[in-house]
Structure 1
């Protein structure tokens, strides 16, 4: 029997990207027996709407999930995850700092002190020239690098200029750099720089297989909530790895349940912990549905078996939530 439990999670501060501002995260925990999943739609990230997800969850008859929209399918498929991805492992994690602000240098220093080696910044929020100037002025701590998520805010001319101006900085990768991406345009930009480019929002529009075949970028950003579940992420990663393309698992500011599931997915895709994944979004929440995976010195240590989720039923975020 499928149980659907709504939650509403206020953020500590607005989650600001080139696509908009988020103040509260809403979704549903999905339970089948003792197994849990998280359905946290975010249209801006590429999922269905909340209304579409609710309709899918409440009408699912227990059969195939292949035709379900992404976030709803992710929730239902995730309840099967404990039976697949239950081994021990370590996942390296970047610090999620959000958009550039006046406290950027201090935030980067704090992240370095906490043991993070990569910090992720959201670009495309302020004017292009202002953001580039702020980045050029940075003096990064030793061993620290930047992951820049442009959210498709740059023209080709701006992107070409940016990759040249950012050469003196330690840049881990640049995600979704182009306003009007195509496989050819991404490949042309990648040819201009040694900085790895990564595809995220354009995966569904351009097609995973087309991006892999063209080797247009060096990394793919895989979000279980957007791809439709951990199983699909693992399948994509296997195809990408065969062509020398790395995959990074990231969250979409979902609940603790969703972050645990994403961490398990990352460990399955990257068992040697060669990549650094985007799982640090729980720090942005005032309340949560439970305890997210602890991040210690920039790493999540996953023990054998699976995290118990009984505590989720005691969360104020669940008790106070109203159906969407």
Structure 2
């Protein structure tokens, strides 16, 4: 999984050519794959994406850093006061925030030498250990494991294997062996996470409200193409059902409103960007917005209405309003300001209660 460091809003919005980050889900290499439905289903939730060449690479391995980024999409709550204080990662690393969240939520820890080893390939046992912390089965102590190599499962992960097998999250593998020291693949990890989301008969122990809300009532969920996160409407300024895609690179915002990967998908601060002219789905009329205007966002999770509360100019490198959030659900929109190359227009709306 290729990821990129945060880049300045100026580069994102002002037609400078950027690396083309992974697109969402029209993959060219998963048709007929044994995990196809799980990859497509998880992509439909906006929780994983592929590569710029249109592939997903389901059989590629994952590093520890890449695995924690997958979990970071779930916005897991902190359960301790720990920090990602490892001597081999820095706060400027593209994966740091995800590692820090995973540490705080109790999903991962480092090694005895105070390293995290972000580029180390993650094994099936390590992946199972992480995923097991999201779901709990009451049958884990009585289940009979079918694996021919079950007697070689280490004690530190035995309970996790039993838990996920009893929960229906993992099943048999090739040759009826769990082969837990084998590197886990991208599709295997996605399959486990997708099955956790399906296992509502078991106790979910930390999934974000954004994921849980797929089954809530009171909001209207929308059926969407694989590569669309949602539709944005601001009637008063002529924005009607503009498609939103994941990514803030030039290729994405030529065809849709871009979603900042650093921001929330549903609960919390959802942040968008777009050009201020020249494209079918741009923010050319955002300069005409007023406080009190209604903003509607339709997604697979439901439909929300927000009220504009903040309109201001910000510096092109100021990420504060995009990367921070409070207990309110907010929607943040950013675009260029004509003839002011170092400034951006930021509009923020708060969910109506």
Question: Hey, which of these two has a bigger chunk of strand by percent?
Answer: 1
Whose Rg is larger? 2
- With normalisation by structure 2, the TM-score equals 0.26
Q: When the two structures are superposed, what TM-score results if normalisation uses the length of structure 1? A: 0.28
Determine which structure has greater relative contact order: mean sequence separation of CA pairs < 8 Å that are 6+ residues apart, divided by chain length.
Answer: 1
Which one has the bigger helix percentage? Answer: 1
